């Protein structure tokens, strides 16, 4: 009996060691791209072109001076990207939650057809509508504003799909019906944080949306974005 316990403990220790090694290796792989990015920020152009290096160089101040000497303000550009990403995430998560709630908690005639339409919209790449979207924003005279980069996040079919799948497994229709019987109106029990515990359901799509918006190349595609100014003439449109 004692031998069995000893072997079991030894096996458990080996398994733990393997798990720790795998987790440490994965953590290092996750950190590696950020470290390489930092190292490249300290290297000159010639050093970067010469190959990969994991050791920092001595050109950090020179590279920073070159960046700050540009005709646009990079810090202002980063700030604009943060504003766009933050408000886009709020719009996407909140309105997508309401849409998903309507698809799950209410039984209406065209519910399945509406969800099918959302799935079809998910299949259309954003690049296919970029030109038409810009022309529409130009007609609205929104080409000198950050609103065209924020408000479209209200229609986020991917997040609607994610939230719907989450609500199907987590939302208690009985609780919603009980709230209705107790006199709670639609404006009360439809709120995502009141209908169910959606903490996890909101965090994951919110994180994905925030990172996607922060990485959008359009936010820094033109120097005018860094100053918060986007003019039609910059994109070949008449002013």
pLDDT for the residue 224:
43
Can you tell me the distance from the alpha carbon of 81 to that of 77, in angstroms, rounded to the nearest whole number?
6
Positive or negative, the CA dihedral 148, 229, 215, 84 is negative
pLDDT at residue 22 is higher than 90: yes
Decide: helix, strand or coil at residue 217: helix
Asked if residues 209 and 88 have their Cβ atoms less than 8 Å apart, the reply is yes
Residue boundaries of the structural domains of the chain: 2-68, 74-235
What sections of the chain are H helices per DSSP?
A: 2-41, 45-50, 60-68, 74-105, 111-122, 130-139, 147-150, 157-170, 173-181, 186-189, 192-195, 199-214, 223-226
CA 89 to chain centre: 7
Asked if residues 224 and 73 have their Cβ atoms less than 8 Å apart, the reply is no
Can you tell me the distance from the alpha carbon of 197 to that of 187, in angstroms, rounded to the nearest whole number?
17
The residue with tokens 């930092």 is 38
Phi and psi, residue 145, nearest 5°: -150, 160
List, for residues 87-120, the tens digit of each pLDDT value: 888 888 888 888 888 888 888 888 889 899 988 8
pLDDT at residue 23 is higher than 50: yes
Can you tell me the distance from the alpha carbon of 80 to that of 40, in angstroms, rounded to the nearest whole number?
25
List, for residues 178-216, the tens digit of each pLDDT value: 777 776 665 555 554 444 445 555 666 666 666 666 666
Can you tell me the distance from the alpha carbon of 224 to that of 70, in angstroms, rounded to the nearest whole number?
12
CA 124 to chain centre: 18
Can you tell me the distance from the alpha carbon of 101 to that of 124, in angstroms, rounded to the nearest whole number?
24
Fold of 74-235: MetI-like fold (1.10.3720)
Can you tell me the distance from the alpha carbon of 149 to that of 96, in angstroms, rounded to the nearest whole number?
17
Can you tell me the distance from the alpha carbon of 113 to that of 173, in angstroms, rounded to the nearest whole number?
21
pTM over 0.85: no
List, for residues 72-82, the tens digit of each pLDDT value: 777 788 888 88
Can you tell me the distance from the alpha carbon of 155 to that of 28, in angstroms, rounded to the nearest whole number?
37
Can you tell me the distance from the alpha carbon of 197 to that of 99, in angstroms, rounded to the nearest whole number?
17
Positive or negative, the CA dihedral 182, 184, 190, 192 is negative
pLDDT at residue 27 is higher than 60: yes
Asked if residues 146 and 188 have their Cβ atoms less than 8 Å apart, the reply is no
């Amino acid at each position: 009996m004692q031998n069995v316990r000893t072997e079991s403990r030894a096996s458990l220790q080996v398994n733990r060691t393997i798990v720790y090694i795998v987790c440490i290796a994965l953590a290092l792989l996750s950190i590696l791209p950020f470290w390489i990015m930092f190292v490249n920020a300290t290297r000159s152009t010639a050093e970067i072109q010469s190959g990969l290096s994991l050791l920092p160089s001595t050109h950090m101040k020179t590279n920073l001076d070159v960046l700050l000497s540009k005709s646009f303000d990079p810090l202002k550009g980063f700030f604009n990207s943060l504003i766009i990403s933050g408000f886009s995430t709020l719009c996407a998560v909140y309105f997508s939650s309401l849409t998903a709630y309507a698809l799950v908690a209410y039984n209406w005639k065209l519910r399945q057809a509406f969800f099918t339409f959302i799935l079809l919209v998910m299949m259309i790449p954003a690049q296919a509508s970029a030109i038409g979207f810009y022309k529409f924003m130009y007609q609205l005279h929104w080409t000198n504003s950050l609103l065209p980069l924020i408000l479209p996040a209200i229609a986020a079919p991917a997040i609607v799909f994610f939230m719907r799948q989450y609500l199907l497994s987590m939302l208690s229709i009985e609780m919603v019906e009980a709230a209705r019987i107790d006199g709670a109106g639609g404006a009360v029990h439809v709120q995502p944080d009141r209908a169910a515990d959606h903490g996890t359901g909101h965090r994951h799509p919110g994180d994905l949306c925030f990172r996607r918006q922060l990485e959008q190349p359009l936010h820094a595609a033109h120097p005018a974005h860094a100053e918060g100014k986007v003019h039609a003439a910059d994109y070949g449109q008449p002013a």
